[in-house]
Amino acid sequence: MMSRLLKGTALAAVAALFLAGGAGAETIKIGMNAPQTGFAAADGKAAVIGAQLAVEQANAEGGVNGNQIELVVYDDQAAPKQAVPIATKLIEQDKVAVGISGSYSGATRAAAGVYQAAGVPFIAAYAVHPDVTRSGDFVFRTAVVGEVQGRAGAMLAGKMLGKKRAVVITLKNDFGVSLSAGFKEKAADYGITVVNEYEYSIKDRQFGPIVTKVKVDNPDVIYATGYFFTAGPLVSQLRAGGVDATVIGQEGYDSEKFITIAKDAAEGVIITTSLDRDSTVPETKTFIAEFEKKAGFAADMVAASGHTAAKVAIAALRKAGSTDPKAVRDAIAATNVTAAIGDISFNSLGEVRKNVQVQIVKGGAFHRHSVISDPDLLAPPEK
């Protein structure tokens, strides 16, 4: 009796679903891999909320040509071995029209190959490894590659701040190494001597020995790559250790958590990033306000990148007028939108063309320092 009742209810529910599906428009799915657990969960969370915000905003405007958009998110733990099955599942089972990555380079590179092979467009929100876009013509990226951002750091240190003696402290992963490589490549051009260089692993939080040695090196600028959870302790230990040289960071520092960790030591730290907190552009202002309302914490670079990647995907779906992968790919390649991170377009490799925002910590918050817009210096790789 009970089971018959249950069956009846289930049948009715299924029928209702079909009817609803038949009556309404189709749902277009955007797939997303992002770390929701493990060491990178904080960044993954911000990226996902950013992307969700973009989807909600688009749905409120009527979705894509009358169809609602759904964001399908799976946890890749920032691990390549998770990213591959997730990409396969998103493509084969969820039949997503576009994939976006809210994950780090390792996982993003792994997923990119799967999307390329399946011929489904894929947009990396903030993974910086050069090989991501080399996977093929269906792969795009809304972040500036590490080397290019490193060059912007060298210009900032040498030309804009007039520094001469630099110490480079490198986080030993693809992110930190590519940034430092870009900085060192251009340092001499801007009159900077790199007096010493140190490396650390992503698990390090104690930098006592490096601080001790940097004090002896006596630099006037420190180019230190890392994420807020390494840079926060590093900067506070540098200041506590009596080192007062200007610290230049990058988008990995770009989280209010960096300031929470380093407290007063964060004051005066300058970073190259993609989110301008003092922007007067409506798109960016709206994003910053709505993100904080939705997430309960302030927007950062990762959140803005997640939002931008989703926005690019949605804009392309609208322009393509269908979910045909080739048409969507071509629409992404021709992107020309104002996103939370500024005006963006893509080059032939699928690398983003955009300005680099320079932010400085003042009064316990990131504020605009300057904008680097030199197109030659910032030219992304073409192959």
Partner 1 sequence: MLYVELFLQGLIQGSIYALVAVGLTLVYGLLRILHIAHAGLFTLGGYIGVLVTDATGSLALALLVAAVTVGLLGMALYRVCYEPILNKPPFVALIASIGLFIAMEEIYRIVFGPYGLSYQAPPLQDSVVLWGMHLTQAELAVMGGGVVVIAVLALLAEKTRAGTAWKATVTDPQMAQSFGIDTVRVRYLNFFIGSALAACAGVMVALMNNLVEPTMGSVPSYKALAIIVLGGLGDVRGTLIAALALGVIEAFGTIYLGDLMDRDAIAFAFLIVVLMIRPQGLLGRKA
345 binds partner 1 (CB under 8 A): no
DSSP string, 80-105: HHHHHHHHHHHHHTS--SEEEE-S-H
204 binds partner 1 (CB under 8 A): yes
Tell me the number of residues near partner 1 by CB under 8 A.
37
Neighbours of 183 (CB within 10 A): 32
For residues 180 and 164, give the distance between their C-alpha atoms in angstroms, rounded to a whole number: 16
- Interface pick for partner 1 out of 257, 277, 329, 369 (rule CB under 8 A): 257
7 binds partner 1 (CB under 8 A): no
For residues 335 and 325, give the distance between their C-alpha atoms in angstroms, rounded to a whole number: 15
What's the closest the beta carbon of residue 317 comes to partner 1, in angstroms?
Answer: 30
Q: Are 339 and 352 in contact (CB under 8 A)?
A: no
- Interface pick for partner 1 out of 9, 65, 193, 201 (rule CB under 8 A): 201
- Interface pick for partner 1 out of 8, 62, 119, 208 (rule CB under 8 A): 208
Site for partner 1 in 295-324 (CB under 8 A): 297
- Interface pick for partner 1 out of 70, 131, 199, 220 (rule CB under 8 A): 199
Beta bridge partners of 124: 101, 141
- Interface pick for partner 1 out of 7, 81, 95, 263 (rule CB under 8 A): 263
Query: Hey, what amino acid is at 167?
Result: V
What's the closest the beta carbon of residue 33 comes to partner 1, in angstroms?
Answer: 16
For residues 312 and 236, give the distance between their C-alpha atoms in angstroms, rounded to a whole number: 37
Minimum CB distance to partner 1 smaller for 153 or for 233: 233
- Interface pick for partner 1 out of 7, 81, 95, 213 (rule CB under 8 A): 213
Which two structure tokens, joined as six digits, stand for 119? 């011929």
- Interface pick for partner 1 out of 216, 280, 382, 383 (rule CB under 8 A): 216
Burial 114-125 (b: 16+ CB within 10 A, else e): bbbebebbbbbb
Q: Are 112 and 84 in contact (CB under 8 A)?
A: no
What's the closest the beta carbon of residue 105 comes to partner 1, in angstroms?
Answer: 19
Closest CA to 357 of 187, 102, 152, 184: 152
- Interface pick for partner 1 out of 262, 303, 320, 361 (rule CB under 8 A): 262
HEC profile of 45-61: HHHHHHHHHHHHHHHHC
What's the closest the beta carbon of residue 342 comes to partner 1, in angstroms?
Answer: 26
203 binds partner 1 (CB under 8 A): yes
What's the closest the beta carbon of residue 186 comes to partner 1, in angstroms?
Answer: 22
CA angle 140-111-271, nearest 5°? Answer: 55
- Interface pick for partner 1 out of 6, 19, 240, 379 (rule CB under 8 A): 240
195 binds partner 1 (CB under 8 A): no
Minimum CB distance to partner 1 smaller for 247 or for 317: 247
Minimum CB distance to partner 1 smaller for 269 or for 315: 269
Contacts of 153 (CB under 8 A, 6+ apart): 179, 182, 183, 223, 248, 250, 272
Contacts of 187 (CB under 8 A, 6+ apart): 154, 157, 158, 166, 193, 194
Site for partner 1 in 157-176 (CB under 8 A): 172
Closest CA to 220 of 184, 194, 181: 194
364 binds partner 1 (CB under 8 A): no
What's the closest the beta carbon of residue 251 comes to partner 1, in angstroms?
Answer: 17
What's the closest the beta carbon of residue 40 comes to partner 1, in angstroms?
Answer: 8
What's the closest the beta carbon of residue 228 comes to partner 1, in angstroms?
Answer: 9
Site for partner 1 in 17-56 (CB under 8 A): 37-39, 41-42, 44-45
For residues 248 and 223, give the distance between their C-alpha atoms in angstroms, rounded to a whole number: 5
Which two structure tokens, joined as six digits, stand for 302? 């990762």
4 binds partner 1 (CB under 8 A): no
Interface with partner 1 (CB under 8 A): 37-39, 41-42, 44-45, 172, 198-201, 203-206, 208-210, 212-213, 215-216, 229, 232-233, 236-237, 240-242, 257, 260-263, 297
